[in-house]
Chain A
């Protein structure tokens, strides 16, 4: 039997941690003038963590290497953006071509809803549109083998972007002008800038974890391990791949919707392949097949990229000596080298395919000092295995 705390202990520890995090976020929100940078990086980190976990559901748990993330995020961002722009700002945003009448009157009817409800509906709508797209796209592409799937999904993301930016959709997506005046995270009292994205992320990631721990999640893993054996055990490949793809796209789009609210203004160029690569980087660093890894990776990468390593991009002179290498673009070079180093020398990433466990976490220091070969954290979600 694996060593672990009892179920009750784990539950209490988790609840305590959650309450702690809640108060920390609540407190930080109150200090926004002082911690502006920290708050904004945390927002972005938690938003990307949803996209990374969704990608991991496909890549790490179903074994489908899909590179369509940016496209589904674009769908979520645009649907959320369009539905949440205040009605009175519509004309100034769509100043070139105007918004289509039907859409505008639809928005006017929605305007009666309180804004948090509208935002929730908009995020879900974005997810649903993406899910429908994924369902349609999945029919041809999920039959493809690994790299063909990668390139086909990448292609679909590009098509989505082209369609969004096309002049034919000017009256809906505002074509190449993008969408501005998207309301940010606000519960109505100047609060929510952290609680909203963290709350949504908690729900989304929680649902994905529940799914992975269910019989369907096990079927996904079987496909990942050996699709021929999985099929021989009665698991319909297409149905399950499709399911995983649709669910992943749904949550990816929600992450895109949150990103739109975070950025306040979006244009199709923000959803290029590079965005997919960024998410892939997070998943690889965190560990393919580890949800905790993706979450930790999302924060780590965002903190490093947007904050800690900013100085890489600014030339620095100490005592009249110009420090070499530091200038615009160096940060991303460091990141790509890091990615390559992980792929080549440390393929498991931070957590491999293991998950966070309280036992592993709290006993880590003692194990570390005993210098024994560390007992790996509970090899994830044993399903009903952890009696």
Chain B
């Protein structure tokens, strides 16, 4: 592997990692508050891909993007309202099954509405512009993704640190019951979490699919699982952790494929998951807590 190809792969990996990081934030925030793996998050991301296809068929890209973000947020809120809110008091297993059921529903809905065949993802011209730095060439989206990811994460962190709703989010994720007793409107906090998660998933989806050029109803599945692993790797509940995890998985996946182990690239992620869960279940940036008996 020459230096140039090495750099090339690094760029690709970082770019993929940025998209993963944005999706992983959605998982980590929901898990932090509801203690729930939002299995449907991956399919919301997939649906955002289809929304873009339809938006771009009649609108210019700079209008399509906000439209897609808004529609994706609406979908996220609908999922929350339909599948999770009615089960707040239900046993853990029911909520988990509901999450899986929602994912299954969105996938089947996508097959029904858009067919199982891949659909071409529209090209957003400015994102596809090619840049050349020395020997290395890449499209704008490759450079933009990590930068945008970092900017969004910094903004999000500020939001959580400084605003009232951000404070409420931190309180709920620390102690759900006490926050409720203190008068925090839990449902509002949860809705807000889903809004942010879905918006980031929409942006992540644009960055991710622009590089991949087609969407299928199963496009969300693997990236979704990987992003969940990224969230666990970073320490579930921790936003910077999710970002680190996302980049780590994006880069390692790219290199595994570069070295010819593409069949194992998915398997690698899960191996990583199991290793983390066994060695350090709280992830890189998570805290240890002892369950009260």
Partners in one complex: yes
Which of B36, B98, B266 contacts A158 (CB under 8 A)?
B266
Judging by beta carbons under 8 Å apart, are A154 and B225 in contact?
yes
Binds B, one of A27-35, A137-145, A252-260, A369-377: A137-145
Judging by beta carbons under 8 Å apart, are A146 and B112 in contact?
no
Tell me whether B63 is interfacial, beta carbon within 8 Å: no
Binds B, one of A162-170, A240-248, A355-363: A162-170
Judging by beta carbons under 8 Å apart, are B112 and A144 in contact?
no
Complex-state Cα separation, A147 to B278, whole angstroms: 14
Which partner residue on chain B sits nearest A148 by CB separation?
B277
A154-B225, A288-B93, A333-B112 as given contacts; A162 in contact with B277, CB under 8 Å: no
A38 to chain B, nearest CB (A): 26
Which of A146, A273, A328, A343 contacts B101 (CB under 8 A)?
A343
Tell me whether A207 is interfacial, beta carbon within 8 Å: no
Which partner residue on chain A sits nearest B279 by CB separation?
A140
Which of A163, A288, A332 contacts B111 (CB under 8 A)?
A332
Complex interface residues of chain B between 219 and 278 (CB less than 8 A to chain A): 221, 225, 228-229, 232, 263-264, 266-267, 269-271, 273-274, 277-278
Which chain A residues border B107 with CB–CB below 8 Å?
336
Which chain B residues border A141 with CB–CB below 8 Å?
274, 277
A156-B274, A280-B100, A336-B104 as given contacts; A273 in contact with B221, CB under 8 Å: yes
**B73-109 vs A: 1/0 string, CB under 8 Å?**
0000000001100110010111011101110110111
Which partner residue on chain A sits nearest B92 by CB separation?
A146
Tell me whether B181 is interfacial, beta carbon within 8 Å: no
Which partner residue on chain B sits nearest A175 by CB separation?
B263
Report which residue of A141, A147, A277, A284 has the largest number of chain B beta carbons within 10 angstroms of its beta carbon. Answer: A147
Complex-state Cα separation, A333 to B277, whole angstroms: 35
Judging by beta carbons under 8 Å apart, are B273 and A347 in contact?
no
Judging by beta carbons under 8 Å apart, are A151 and B267 in contact?
no
Which chain B residues border A343 with CB–CB below 8 Å?
83, 87, 94, 97-98, 101
Complex-state Cα separation, A147 to B93, whole angstroms: 8
A147-B37, A154-B225, A336-B109 as given contacts; A328 in contact with B277, CB under 8 Å: no
B293 to chain A, nearest CB (A): 6
Tell me whether B166 is interfacial, beta carbon within 8 Å: no
Chain A interface residue count, CB cutoff 8 Å, equals 44
Tell me whether B178 is interfacial, beta carbon within 8 Å: no
Complex-state Cα separation, A228 to B290, whole angstroms: 13
Judging by beta carbons under 8 Å apart, are B98 and A147 in contact?
no
Judging by beta carbons under 8 Å apart, are B273 and A166 in contact?
no
Judging by beta carbons under 8 Å apart, are A336 and B108 in contact?
yes
Judging by beta carbons under 8 Å apart, are A151 and B105 in contact?
no
Complex-state Cα separation, A288 to B96, whole angstroms: 13
Tell me whether B281 is interfacial, beta carbon within 8 Å: yes
Which chain A residues border B274 with CB–CB below 8 Å?
140-141, 152, 155-156
Tell me whether B115 is interfacial, beta carbon within 8 Å: yes
Complex-state Cα separation, A166 to B264, whole angstroms: 8
Which of A59, A152, A166, A340 contacts B263 (CB under 8 A)?
A166
**B208-223 vs A: 1/0 string, CB under 8 Å?**
0000000000000100
Complex interface residues of chain A between 147 and 196 (CB less than 8 A to chain B): 147-148, 150-152, 154-156, 158-159, 162-163, 165-167
Which partner residue on chain A sits nearest B260 by CB separation?
A167
Which partner residue on chain B sits nearest A229 by CB separation?
B293
Tell me whether A337 is interfacial, beta carbon within 8 Å: yes
Chain A residues touching B, majority SS: helix
A135 to chain B, nearest CB (A): 15
Judging by beta carbons under 8 Å apart, are A347 and B90 in contact?
yes
Judging by beta carbons under 8 Å apart, are A151 and B271 in contact?
no
Complex-state Cα separation, A92 to B196, whole angstroms: 55
Which chain B residues border A140 with CB–CB below 8 Å?
274, 277-278
Which of B108, B225, B263 contacts A155 (CB under 8 A)?
B225
Which chain A residues border B266 with CB–CB below 8 Å?
158-159, 162
Which chain A residues border B105 with CB–CB below 8 Å?
333, 336-337, 339-340
A159-B270, A329-B115 as given contacts; A65 in contact with B93, CB under 8 Å: yes
Judging by beta carbons under 8 Å apart, are A339 and B37 in contact?
no
Judging by beta carbons under 8 Å apart, are B94 and A347 in contact?
yes
Tell me whether A335 is interfacial, beta carbon within 8 Å: yes
Judging by beta carbons under 8 Å apart, are A340 and B102 in contact?
yes
Complex-state Cα separation, A167 to B113, whole angstroms: 35
Which of A155, A281, A328 contacts B270 (CB under 8 A)?
A155
Complex-state Cα separation, A141 to B278, whole angstroms: 8
A143 to chain B, nearest CB (A): 7
A75 to chain B, nearest CB (A): 15
Judging by beta carbons under 8 Å apart, are B267 and A162 in contact?
yes
Which chain B residues border A143 with CB–CB below 8 Å?
278
Judging by beta carbons under 8 Å apart, are B267 and A150 in contact?
no
Which of B90, B102, B116, B270 contacts A152 (CB under 8 A)?
B270
B140 to chain A, nearest CB (A): 33
Which chain A residues border B102 with CB–CB below 8 Å?
340
Judging by beta carbons under 8 Å apart, are B263 and A165 in contact?
yes
Which chain A residues border B98 with CB–CB below 8 Å?
340, 343-344
Which chain A residues border B35 with CB–CB below 8 Å?
147
Which of B96, B116, B232 contacts A146 (CB under 8 A)?
B96
Judging by beta carbons under 8 Å apart, are A333 and B270 in contact?
no
Judging by beta carbons under 8 Å apart, are B97 and A280 in contact?
yes
A220 to chain B, nearest CB (A): 15
Complex interface residues of chain A between 192 and 231 (CB less than 8 A to chain B): 228
Judging by beta carbons under 8 Å apart, are A344 and B93 in contact?
no
Which chain A residues border B109 with CB–CB below 8 Å?
333, 336
Complex-state Cα separation, A156 to B94, whole angstroms: 22
**A312-336 vs B: 1/0 string, CB under 8 Å?**
0000000000000001111011011
- Could you pull out 15 A-B pairs where Cβ atoms are within 8 angstroms? A141-B277, A146-B96, A151-B225, A151-B228, A155-B225, A158-B225, A159-B267, A162-B266, A284-B97, A329-B116, A332-B111, A340-B82, A343-B94, A343-B101, A344-B87
Would you list the 7 A-B pairs with minimal beta carbon distance, nearest first? Answer: A155-B270, A329-B112, A336-B105, A162-B267, A332-B108, A159-B267, A329-B111
- Contacts A140-B274, A158-B270 known; 6 new A-B pairs at CB < 8 A: A141-B277, A156-B274, A328-B111, A333-B108, A335-B108, A344-B86
